[in-house]
Amino acid sequence: VEIVKALTRDVDLLILDEPTAVLTPQETDELLSVMRGLKDAGKSIVFITHKLREVKAVADRITVIRRGKTVGTAEPTTPESELAELMVGRAVVLEVPKQKAEPGAPVLTVSGLVVADDRQHRAVDGVDLEVKAGEVLGIAGVQGNGQTELIESIMGLRPALAGTVTLNGKDITGWRTRQVLRAGVGYIPEDRSVDGLVKEFSVAENLVLDLYDVEPFGGRFALNPPAIEVAAKGRIDEFDIRVQSEQQPVGSLSGGNQQKVIVAREMSRPLKLFIAAQPTRGVDVGSIEFIHRRIVAERDVGSAVLLVSSELDEVVALADRVAVMYRGRVLAVVSPDTPRETLGLLMAGITPEADDS
């Protein structure tokens, strides 16, 4: 609605800040076409985005900003790898290297799940899905089609109205979040500020946030600061978290390093299932590269991985199978090699059968 309002005004300068975040691929292509038309009509456009493919498709000049400063300008013909290096300050591997998956037995099974949103409307409407050991199942869809409520219900953050969630054959429907985590589930929430971190706590404290009563970090009555510090230093090193000290408030870190704290905490527990909801939202290209590699590595050691992302490129790059959600339902489970046009139609609720009719 906001995009349409902006486009219908008679303006000479149009500023678009991440306008494609909630659009299907087809809608994105249409918007880029409209932008080209406005440019040809003599309008000026400032297009703010982290999606290199899109900026290269429409820009006449590209300005790269890092840490609040302009670090360079480039032509649209500049390779994506060079733009990424300007954005991060070092060479970045944009392709996600991975071998073909060798899936094992089902780890997570969701059957007939029905979940309400905050307005008590059905956000998840009878979802069935299965995630196997050693695979990444990606969920694609325009934001707001039930993905958030689905994950929250699996994690015990939102009640199920009907259906079941099982982990290695054990019914965990309605379990509390702590029970789910301690059953071997790691979880990157989609909003790290609300559900992933206590920003006033130190980096070290956030790295053991739900383990304060587990040896060696603590017991029933007291924490063990030396053990927490030793574990924190090891995880900071392993996950390349850029800090001045493990005792500094986690809220003082960059977005990418805050996200790495969550990834480090969740991947340091013994995992059967790893759930990553919008794992690279609001982080820099370098952190995206690191997080993607860790997700693939977790798959490769045999964990089941459930990935939810509004970034279709991310889903296609990481997933071994892609489930497309629309209005609370899984319309299809397809290969990541499926043409983007087909995925875009599914994300818009158009199935091949509906298209033929």
Tell me which residues of the chain have a pLDDT lower than 50: 354-357
pLDDT of residue 353: 62
Give the distance, in angstroms, between the CA of residue 123 and the centroid of all CA atoms in the same chain. Answer: 19
Q: Please state, in angstroms and rounded to a whole number, the distance separating the CA atoms of residues 225 and 207.
A: 12
pLDDT of residue 356: 46
pLDDT of residue 357: 38
Cα dist from 203 to 96, 211, 287, whole Å: 28, 14, 17
Instruction: Sketch out the chain's domains with CATH numbers.
Output: 1-88 (3.40.50.300), 99-184+270-356 (3.40.50.300), 196-268 (no CATH)
Q: pTM for the full model?
A: 0.86
DSSP bridge pairs for 305: 136, 274
Helix 225-238 × helix 255-267 angle, to 10° = 110
pLDDT of residue 213: 83
Q: What is the dihedral of CA 252, 256, 262, 265, to 10 degrees?
A: -90
Counting beta carbons within 10 angstroms of the beta carbon of residue 299, is it exposed (0 to 12), middle (13 to 18) or buried (19 or more)? Answer: buried
Give per-residue pLDDT as tens, 69-128. 999 999 999 999 899 899 888 887 778 889 999 999 999 999 999 999 999 999 999 999
Q: Please state, in angstroms and rounded to a whole number, the distance separating the CA atoms of residues 247 and 250.
A: 8
pLDDT of residue 216: 87
For residue 345, report the phi and psi dihedrals to the nearest 5 degrees. -65, -40
Share of the chain above pLDDT 70, in %: 98
3-state SS, the chain, equals CHHHHHHHCCCCEEEEECCCCCCCHHHHHHHHHHHHHHHHCCCEEEEECCCHHHHHHHCCCEEEEECCEEEEEECCCCCHHHHHHHHHCCCCCCCCCCCCCCCCCEEEEEEEEEEECCCCCEEEEEEEEEEECCCEEEEECCCCCCHHHHHHHHCCCCCCCEEEEEECCEECCCCCHHHHHHCCEEEECCCHHHHHCCCCCEHHHHHCCCCCCCCCCECCCCECHHHHHHHHHHHHHHCCCCCCCCCCEHHHCCHHHHHHHHHHHHHCCCCCEEEEECCCCCCCHHHHHHHHHHHHHHHHCCCEEEEECCCHHHHHHHCCEEEEEECCEEEEEECCCCCHHHHHHHHCCCCHHHHHC
DSSP bridge pairs for 170: 167
pLDDT of residue 5: 76
Give per-residue pLDDT as tens, 165-183. 999 999 999 999 999 999 9
